[in-house]
Amino acid sequence: MQERVKKPTFDVIGTRPVRPDGVDKVTGRAKFGADLKMAGQLVGKVLRSPHAHARIKSIDTSKALALPGVKAIVTREDFVEQASEFVPAGEMLINYRDVVRNVLAREKALYEGHAIAAVAAISESAAQAALDAIKVDYEVLPHVIDEVEAMKPDAPLLHDDMITAGVTPVPTKASNVAKRVEFALGDTAKGFAEADLIIERDFKTAPVHQGYIEPHACVASVSEDGSAELWVTTQGHWVVRAHCAKLLGWDVNKIRVTSSEIGGGFGGKTVVYLEPLALALSKKTRKPVKMVMSREDVFKATGPTSGATMHIKMGAKKDGTITAAEGELIFQAGAFQGSPVQPGAMCAFANYDLEHVKIVGYDVVSNRPKVAAYRAPGGPISTYAVESVVDELAETLGLCPLEMRLKNAAKEGTKAAYGPKFGPVGLVECLEAAQDSEHWKAPLGPNQGRGIAAGFWFNIGGETTVSLQLNEDGTLSLMAGTPDVGGLRASLSMMAAEELKMDVSKVRPIIADTASLGYNFLTGGSRSAFSSGMATVDAARSIIKQACQRAAKLWEIPEEAVTWEDGEVRPAGENAGKHKPMSLSDIGKIAGKTGGAIVGYAAISAQGAAPSFGVHIADTEVDPEDAGRAIHPSYVEGQYQGGAVQGIGWALNEEYIYGTDGRLQNAGFLDYRVPVASDLPMIDTIIVEVPNPRHPYGVRGIGETPIVPPMAAIAASVRRASGVRFFELPMSPPKVLKAMKAAGKA
Amino acid sequence: MQERVKKPTFDVIGTRPVRPDGVDKVTGRAKFGADLKMAGQLVGKVLRSPHAHARIKSIDTSKALALPGVKAIVTREDFVEQASEFVPAGEMLINYRDVVRNVLAREKALYEGHAIAAVAAISESAAQAALDAIKVDYEVLPHVIDEVEAMKPDAPLLHDDMITAGVTPVPTKASNVAKRVEFALGDTAKGFAEADLIIERDFKTAPVHQGYIEPHACVASVSEDGSAELWVTTQGHWVVRAHCAKLLGWDVNKIRVTSSEIGGGFGGKTVVYLEPLALALSKKTRKPVKMVMSREDVFKATGPTSGATMHIKMGAKKDGTITAAEGELIFQAGAFQGSPVQPGAMCAFANYDLEHVKIVGYDVVSNRPKVAAYRAPGGPISTYAVESVVDELAETLGLCPLEMRLKNAAKEGTKAAYGPKFGPVGLVECLEAAQDSEHWKAPLGPNQGRGIAAGFWFNIGGETTVSLQLNEDGTLSLMAGTPDVGGLRASLSMMAAEELKMDVSKVRPIIADTASLGYNFLTGGSRSAFSSGMATVDAARSIIKQACQRAAKLWEIPEEAVTWEDGEVRPAGENAGKHKPMSLSDIGKIAGKTGGAIVGYAAISAQGAAPSFGVHIADTEVDPEDAGRAIHPSYVEGQYQGGAVQGIGWALNEEYIYGTDGRLQNAGFLDYRVPVASDLPMIDTIIVEVPNPRHPYGVRGIGETPIVPPMAAIAASVRRASGVRFFELPMSPPKVLKAMKAAGKA
């Protein structure tokens, strides 16, 4: 690890204190989704469609309900029908008509694994017997898996009423294309006319799963008066609460959601699957209901990211200046609209300062599980295609791919195709860091290649609430509402400790349940350290202000005559030296007598989450990224390494394999090959710190950018190592060998 | 029930909605102290002293620790020695030197039942075996039980270094008298000289136990890094946290305390007994440790209220005007200083508007369990004595006891002996209500008597924190930090609903744990509805203000151009009618887009808890009390009836009976006779509402005053029914029969 530090002196920020979640995790005390046991709990299980596409003519649960130990069954009848409109749920726009159908199929089963019914029974075996006894009358329909096939006029239609949005005139016929998006700047025809070289390529990427270690799990308990408790592994428990209340037609405040420790999410735990079922079953049975997915369920019924078909065309002058760029992106949405084609289109060319650019994207449904977010949704896919073309341009022009990127890199003042002008962004710094690295300069052995690629991600802000209590002994209790997936508790404690000039071990961070704080949007979009951090700093500053007020009251001097310095409240100006300075621990003691508890409470909608860039060099184990400010460097490195690992899997091995029957053939980690530790090289990281001017400590998100560049970097590297250029992911060993043989390279 | 209503129109206040805690309590879902089971929990048990007074020469735990299934033992060595000084813990002043010795005896066992050691083991039987195997070498010392005996110069000394406080010059010799207090006004010698009749009597009351249904219980779990969770039945979990942190030397924020539902407290659950032991055992074993007291433990080792010996002298003119009053109160403290003699002295003559008054009190230790608070600590005891003398004055002078009280009643402007001038207080109104009642006028049968007595209590305010979240659908989540013993959740929801003009069912009240809110002093001193209510109203008003700000932002008009009326935000003045009014549900929806979650957060130190008076008529089933404003009348009636019932027990049956060996002989509900339902008459209530001007809804405390008058009222009634006047409590059947026979009345 190298740090390229341009930072002011901090006491706590940038150090590596013991992780507050560490002890519980290494001792096994930490409670994950499946770890809660409630007295008298029932087992909930889901009946899933064996068909990729089928009309559900009837569901007969009578026999199942009569079996011993079977307590309740829920089907499509038990959920409230929803209007087909996009309504806000936190930062997201959600079409609950689709969500209610994804939670339990209504008219049709739209993919193998689609939930049809859920049972609650006294044991696993009783629940399984009930599933076996439910009689579903299906009319099997023709299905379509591939996104390009699904766009064809004669493709089987998933939704009879789906009219493509974003097209003028409005189409009169339904199709599987939910939406068309377009972003453009300048005149690409003019730009291509200025080019000395134009390269145009088709790309295909496979859908890959987030592959979190912990499957979805929850326990719901609903009382006779409708008060509900829900324990769940999620990236956003307020979002879960909102979704469940909407689908069940309950008041939001009736559902109190506690987020468990989480064994990874990567975007995949931002939606609901089991939660509304568990609540509905608990309401029927008046018993707690626990539901846990198997790995097969996770693969068949939860969102992977989109697979995509892409066409990229770029032109450049001999000196490497990119003159124009065009792209077409076709993204799989799964069975319901909502692929990340829009952010994919926004990211595609964001690495470059371009005058002429145009990108078009399509959101296409097919008989696959509905996609879910996956780190920087859409970004890695379009970046893979664009960066591969940039690599080929550089290669063909005989230029260094890193220098060609430096020449064209987006920088402060660059206007992005999707609208905004960038502020200070660190892409140039990242590229220079890569260029300076030992590894970039190191010689390669035989059959080795070296690839480089850059990547961009927005990062977001949004609704965030933090409560920071100064206790009577001067210690702090910190409540945040964004689940801690990657070290949030450590980062927030450090920001509070920095602000209040105290030992970080004196801050106890806790992730609050939904009844304990105002609304928090989820941990996702690389927002939690940024926005909960901003709220924590606000809360800490509020404590400082109150501490000054209390001391002023006690000393009977005006508030303006009091200052906060070096972690103490001091009399200032003409009062300086007249009273003994007070530490936070002194202030904590007098809180009750001077007006009550001192609590910093911040409910904000964080603005100004700065975008970030990253550069990956494949085959050289160097990974420089712009982190904004690294609060706890160990966690930042972990995020970088994790992103690289997931990128390696995506580039080389991971894919969903469907049979002609529309059924998934590799729904398990034995056949869906994720990289394991022994597969992986050492992944070195360089943290490039270009502080975000809109955050008090310069924080940017760091959870997503690291997965944007690796596929393209690895593709460029494989190209150089093998002599063959690949346009499809994964570049799995049989495919590489076959292509090399065909090209006479092996 | 009759209500004497002088109230403005409210929508919610004063109605009787369904109790939010009701469903869980009737279905058995409510989790009390002993209801939590944690995976892998150990059983904790306490070894208690069989001796009333003994030096502990040594404690040998080696054999016990070697027994199978025994995981840890804690003794005096495991707790931090504390300085002998009174330090603040919330509103209380606590001497931790005594607390640490009460939790586990150090130099000496000071009463039968005093905790000596605690063990954690895998089962009840293993824990019991360990207790049996602990070898304690005691040197048995002479003991003293009675408070008058304990004051004698040759009495066995409990604490060699106890020098009576409040006496000038400072005594040079240690004694069992911890403190002398005195309050006086005017010149009593002059007052007695003006009297036509002087009556002087001695009284004795027995200690009585709070008799909560639920014994003390807790579960503690401490992790390897010292983070602790504590589940406990308590009246104040922040206070438990403070005590435990202090005794264990831990940071306050390391201990997260959740209060269970509580099966009664009445003041007895304001101190710690098992909690520090459970935490210490869990820290040693790294396992959860559950501890539950038996009823015998509750009687022998937790605080009853003081028994007392009192001398009262009062003089009156023939017309009933009281000219002077004097009193001497000797209160049992139990083994450590801290009887409620001070509030007892303050309450003694507070019913009356007196020019000449003097009262002296003594706090006396003896070999009994340390007393704990019990509803209006001290008040019922001194009131019993004073009101009995007033009754005898009226009887001797041939006056109506009610009219005599009306003549002398404290009112607005009365200066109390203990200092303050009363504001508007409702004693006259209560007496008039009693006078007007059907029952006061009803004829009595043979052998029946009717007694009346009045009583006073302060009620307190103090540190209180409430968080009120407006959810995205307009429902509210309310977090309060004072345990709900007698309907707090209902009252707070109603105040929030009243303020926000919404259906009370849309407010979900929850009692927060100590990590979730700023400091809350305990539920006690009749403060919770008053101070948490005040904080709730503050929080609700903050929501209204924020709602107006958000609407102004949305409408792009100044905040001053927006008003809150009838539960809606409306454009006002020249903007009136230009925008559609917004309900709270509309505002909830736009919160995220207009600045983040809307949360009303109030951390206050409530001031102005008004004193209240009550009048009881015994034998007539009428019980009029000044409630301030009755938020939820059903709960207020419950408090009144409960106070009366406990007063009946205190007056007629309850007492601690000690053998000459200093051991308690009736440590169980079979022998310690509390009134059961079949013992009790119908207890009617009249709620007299004199709103407290210092609370937005006029709330006063109502939890304590109802227990102040009943003993005196019953004594007066027994006097009239039996023809004999009693000066000692309880007036149990054998005592009454014996006295009547001696007087030739039976």
Which residue, chain included where needed, has tokens 């001398």? B311
State the DSSP string of B249-292.
T--GGGEEEEE---S--TTTTSS-SSHHHHHHHHHHHSS-EEEE
Q: How far is B533 from chain A (nearest CA, A)?
A: 15
CB contact under 8 A, B223 and A519: no
pLDDT the model gives residue A297: 97
Residues of A in Cβ contact (< 8 Å) with B517? 467, 469, 597, 599
Q: Does A252 touch chain B if contact means CB atoms closer than 8 Å?
A: yes
Contact residues, A window 352-411, toward B, CB-based 8 Å cutoff = none
The amino acid present at B746, given as its one-letter code, is: A
- Average pLDDT of the segment spanning A523-527: 79
Q: Could you tell me if B295 and B667 are in contact, meaning their C-beta atoms sit under 8 angstroms apart? A: yes
A568-571: strand order across its sheet: A562-565, A568-571, A582-583
Please name the residue that has the structure tokens 């003991």.
B143
| A285 touches B: beta carbon within 8 Å | no
Q: How far apart are CA B583 and CA B564, in angstroms?
A: 10
**pLDDT tier, A621 (very low <50, low <70, confident <90, very high otherwise):** very low
Distance, in Å, from the CA atom of B23 to the CA atom of A227, rounded to the nearest integer, reads 10
pLDDT at B1 over 50: no
Q: Which tokens is A136 given? A: 């579903």
N- to C-terminal Cα separation, chain A? 36
* B615 close to B710: Cβ distance less than 8 angstroms: no
Separation in Å, CA of B29 to nearest CA in chain A = 8
B721-740 residues touching A, CB cutoff 8 A: none
Task: Please give the Cα distance from A75 to A59 (Å, whole number).
Answer: 8
Decide if pLDDT at A614 tops 80.
Answer: no
Confidence of residue A43 (pLDDT cuts 50, 70, 90): very high
Chain B interface includes A347 (CB < 8 A): no
pLDDT value of position B98 = 97
How many CB atoms neighbour CB B6 within 10 A? 12
Q: What digits encode the pLDDT tens for the residues A44-76?
A: 999 999 999 999 999 999 999 999 999 999 999
Residue B624 predicted with pLDDT over 90? no
H/E stretch holding B650 reads helix B633-652
Q: How large a percentage of chain A has pLDDT more than 90?
A: 74
Residue A27 in contact with residue B224, Cβ under 8 Å?
yes
Q: What is the per-residue pLDDT across A96-143, written as a single tens digit (0 to 9) for each?
A: 999 999 999 999 999 999 999 999 999 999 999 999 999 999 999 999
CB-based contact, A472 to chain B, within 8 Å: yes
Q: What residues form DSSP beta bridges with A204?
A: A309, A728
Q: Where residue A239 falls among pLDDT bands split at 50, 70, 90?
A: very high
Average pLDDT of the segment spanning A613-631 = 64
Contacts of A518 in chain B (CB under 8 A): 469-470, 596-599
- H or E element in which residue A137 lies: strand A135-140
In this predicted structure, the answer to whether residue B604 has a pLDDT above a threshold of 60 is yes
Average pLDDT, chain B: 92
Dihedral class, residue B499 (left if φ above 0, else alpha if ψ from -120 to 50, else beta): alpha
Strand order in the sheet with B54-60: B108-109, B54-60, B135-140
Q: Is A227 on the interface with B (CB under 8 A)?
A: yes
Decide which of A425 and A519 is more confident: A519
B530 vs chain A: nearest CA distance in angstroms? 15
The confidence score (pLDDT) of residue A3 equals: 46
Residue of A nearest to B592 (CA): A463
What's the pLDDT at B12?
A: 92
| pLDDT tens track for B657-690 | 999 999 999 999 989 989 988 888 878 888 878 7
Residue type, B377: P
Place of tokens 């940017």: A700
B725, amino acid identity: R
Between chain A and chain B, how many beta carbons pairs sit less than 8 Å apart? 192
- Which candidate in A29, A80, A225 is best for mutational testing of the B interface (most B CBs within 10 A)? A225
Task: Please name the member of A463, A506, A596 whose beta carbon is closest to the beta carbon of B592.
Answer: A463
- Please report, for residues A234, A271, A370, B51, the alpha-carbon distance to residue A279 in angstroms, rounded to integers and kept in the order given: 15, 15, 22, 55
Q: Is A599 on the interface with B (CB under 8 A)?
A: yes
B8-63 pLDDT tens trace: 679 999 899 999 999 999 999 999 999 999 989 999 999 999 999 999 999 999 99
Sheet containing B70-74, strands listed edge to edge, beginning at the edge strand earlier in sequence = B70-74, B115-121, B42-48, B289-292, B217-222, B228-232, B255-259
Q: CB B736: neighbour CB atoms within 10 A?
A: 19
- Residue A599's closest chain B neighbor by CA? B518
DSSP conformational letter for A346: H
Q: What percent of chain A has pLDDT over 70?
A: 97
| Average pLDDT score over residue span A423-447 | 87
Omega before A624 within 30 of 0, i.e. cis: no
Binary contact (A592, B88; C-beta < 8 A): yes
| C-alpha span between B53 and B51 (Å, rounded) | 5
**End-to-end alpha carbon distance in chain B:** 36
Q: How far apart are CA B608 and CA B640, in angstroms?
A: 22
Return d(Cα B633, Cα B295) in angstroms, integer: 32
The tens digit of pLDDT for each residue in A172-197 reads 999 999 999 999 999 999 999 999 99
Is residue B596 pLDDT above 80, yes or no?
yes
Banded model confidence at residue A523, pLDDT cuts 50, 70, 90: confident
Q: What is the pLDDT of residue B625?
A: 60
* A585 lies within 8 A of chain B by CB: no
The CA-based angle B205-B206-B211, given to 5 degrees, is 125
- Residue from A491, A434, A444, A441 nearest A466 by CA: A491
Query: What mean pLDDT do residues B387-411 have?
Result: 96
- Residue B399 makes CB contacts below 8 A (sequence gap 6+) with B320, B393
Asked whether residue B2 carries a pLDDT value surpassing 60, the answer given is: no
CB-based contact A242 B521, cutoff 8 Å: no
Tell whether B160 is within 8 A of chain A (Cβ): no
Task: Tell how strand A86-89 and strand B357-365 pair up.
Answer: unpaired
Task: Give tens-digit pLDDT for A656-688.
Answer: 999 999 999 999 998 998 988 888 887 888 887
- Indicate the Cα dihedral angle A630, A633, A639, A644, nearest 10°: 100
Q: State yes or no: pLDDT of A699 exceeds 50.
A: yes
Mutate to test the interface with A, among B80, B254, B469, B511 (most CBs of A within 10 A): B469
Angle (CA) B25-B29-B31 rounded to 5° is 85
How is residue A77 annotated by DSSP?
A: G
Q: What is the pLDDT of residue B342?
A: 96
Q: CA B580 to CA B61: how far, in whole Å?
A: 75
Residues near B359 by beta carbon (within 8 Å), at least 6 away in sequence: B182, B183, B184, B325, B326, B327, B328, B329, B345, B348, B349, B382, B417
Which class for A302: exposed (0-12), middle (13-18), buried (19 or more C-beta within 10 A)?
Answer: buried
In the sheet that holds A308-316, the strands lie side by side as A177-185, A357-365, A322-334, A308-316, A197-205
Q: List CB contacts of B563: < 8 A, sequence separation 6 or more.
A: B548, B569, B570, B572
CA distance to partner chain A, nearest, from residue B133 (Å)? 32
Q: Are A424 and A490 within 8 A, CB to CB?
A: no
Is A593 part of the contact surface with chain B (CB cutoff 8 Å)? yes
β-bridge partners, B257: B230
How do beta strands A2-4 and A684-688 pair?
A: parallel
CA angle A144, A149, A150 (to 5 degrees): 60
DSSP string for residues in A240-277: HHHHHHHHHT--GGGEEEEE---S--TTTTSS-SSHHH
Q: Are strands A562-565 and A568-571 parallel, antiparallel or unpaired?
A: antiparallel
At B461 the pLDDT is 79
| Cβ–Cβ contact A471 with B under 8 A | yes
Q: Give the best residue of B29, B222, B225, B237 to mutate against chain A (max A CB count within 10 A).
A: B225
pLDDT band for B620, please (50, 70, 90 cuts).
Answer: very low
Mutation pick from A240, A247, A471 vs chain B, by most beta carbons of B within 10 Å, is A471
Pairing of strands A568-571, A582-583: antiparallel
- Our measurement of the distance from residue B242's CA atom to the centroid of its chain's CA atoms, rounded to an integer in Å, reads 19
CB contact under 8 A, B597 and A603: yes
Please tell me the predicted confidence (pLDDT) of residue A5: 42
Q: Are A468 and A495 in contact (CB under 8 A)?
A: no
Q: Which of A301-310, A601-610, B14-23 has the lowest mean pLDDT?
A: A601-610
Indicate if the pLDDT at residue B469 is higher than 90. Answer: yes
Of residues A39, A652, A115, A723, the one with CA closest to residue A449? A723
**Arithmetic mean of pLDDT over chain A:** 92
pLDDT given at position B627: 67
pLDDT higher than threshold 80 for residue B319: yes
- What lies within 8 Å, CB to CB, of B643 at 6+ separation is B375, B614, B703, B704, B705, B706, B707, B710
Question: pLDDT tens, B258-288?
Answer: 999 999 999 999 999 999 999 999 999 999 9
In degrees, to the nearest 5, what angle opens at C-alpha B661 toward C-alphas B660 and B666?
A: 80
Facing residue for A464 by CB, picked from B467, B596, B603: B596
Picking from B245, B472, B518, the nearest residue to A469 by CB comes out as B518
pLDDT band for position A623 (cuts 50, 70, 90) = very low
Q: What is the ipTM of this complex?
A: 0.89
What pLDDT does A107 receive?
97
